[in-house]
């Protein structure tokens, strides 16, 4: 082989190596675009970076990796209570769900290690997801008026209840017969039992509930069914 031919081959190889190096340098590095989603009170899926409200709160956390290529991603979700240095929960799935049932402030952050041969690239979130769960609150009224006027027709706990993670309510007649029960603070009693309207009078209410802050509720009281009463101050005929 002549010197000229050798030089041409060497230059060609060098050009190919430089081209390969340039292409690799221009290749996008693996990353992630984590997201937190949950279902709101209207049944809509919401994507946010923070939540401030009542328990129970269940969220889905997605890593959403990008430009992974030949790298192997290793995921690490860290759930930490505010003021503590160590997470109380670590999960290693790409996507995960968690239900918050305790009051307080929490952070959720994602760490991803992208591994290829002896090369490791690390992704960390700029800001973790923030979750604040309020202390519990539960109050009940004394009466309701199930007369079909669309106002106060159902006996239920007062609006504004917060962070109630377990709930059971029962209504009894004055003779101790159970007339109705429900297990959701958003539910209630319409003043009927066995398909029949119950007469006006006093009924015994018993509620057992527990808040996200550990508070236990034992509510026992008489509630008044006033079917003949109108909210505008009149009475039904």
CATH number of the domain that 42 lies in? 2.60.40.10
One domain for residues 58 and 124? yes
Tally of domains in the chain: 2
One domain for residues 119 and 192? no
pLDDT tens-digit profile of 156-194?
Answer: 999 999 999 999 999 999 999 999 999 999 999 999 999
Q: What are the phi and psi torsion angles at 135 (to 5°)?
A: -70, 160
pLDDT tens-digit profile of 19-67?
Answer: 444 444 456 899 999 999 999 989 999 999 999 999 999 999 999 999 9
One domain for residues 127 and 147? no
One domain for residues 128 and 159? no
Say how far apart CA 114 and CA 121 lie, in whole Å.
5
**Residue 53, in any domain of the structure:** yes
One domain for residues 37 and 126? yes
Domain boundary among 98, 133, 168: 133
Buried b (16+ CB within 10 A) or exposed e, 143-154: ebbbbeeeebbe
Range of the domain at 192: 143-225
**Residue 150, in any domain of the structure:** yes
- Domain of 208, CATH number, reads 2.60.40
């Amino acid at each position: 082989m002549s010197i000229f031919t050798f030089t041409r081959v060497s230059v060609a190889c060098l050009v190919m190596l430089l081209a390969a190096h340039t292409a690799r340098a221009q290749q996008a590095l693996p990353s992630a675009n984590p997201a937190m989603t949950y279902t709101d009170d209207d049944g809509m899926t919401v994507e946010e970076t923070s939540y401030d409200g009542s328990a129970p709160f269940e969220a889905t956390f997605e890593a959403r990796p990008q430009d992974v290529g030949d790298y192997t991603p290793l995921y690490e979700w860290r759930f930490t209570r505010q003021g503590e240095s160590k997470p109380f929960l670590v999960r290693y799935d790409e996507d995960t769900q968690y239900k918050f049932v305790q009051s307080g402030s929490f952070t959720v952050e994602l760490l991803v290690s992208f591994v290829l041969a002896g090369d490791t690239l690390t992704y960390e979130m700029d800001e973790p997801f923030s979750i604040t769960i309020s202390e519990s609150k539960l109050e009940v009224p004394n009466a309701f008026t199930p007369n079909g006027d669309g106002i106060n027709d159902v006996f239920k706990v007062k609006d504004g209840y917060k962070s109630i993670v377990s709930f059971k309510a029962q209504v009894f007649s004055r003779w101790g017969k159970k007339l109705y029960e429900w297990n959701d603070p958003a539910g209630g009693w319409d003043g009927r039992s066995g398909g029949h309207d119950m007469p006006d009078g006093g009924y015994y209410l018993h509620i057992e509930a527990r808040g996200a802050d550990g508070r236990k509720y034992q509510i026992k009281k008489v509630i008044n069914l006033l079917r003949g009463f109108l909210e505008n101050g009149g009475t039904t005929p």
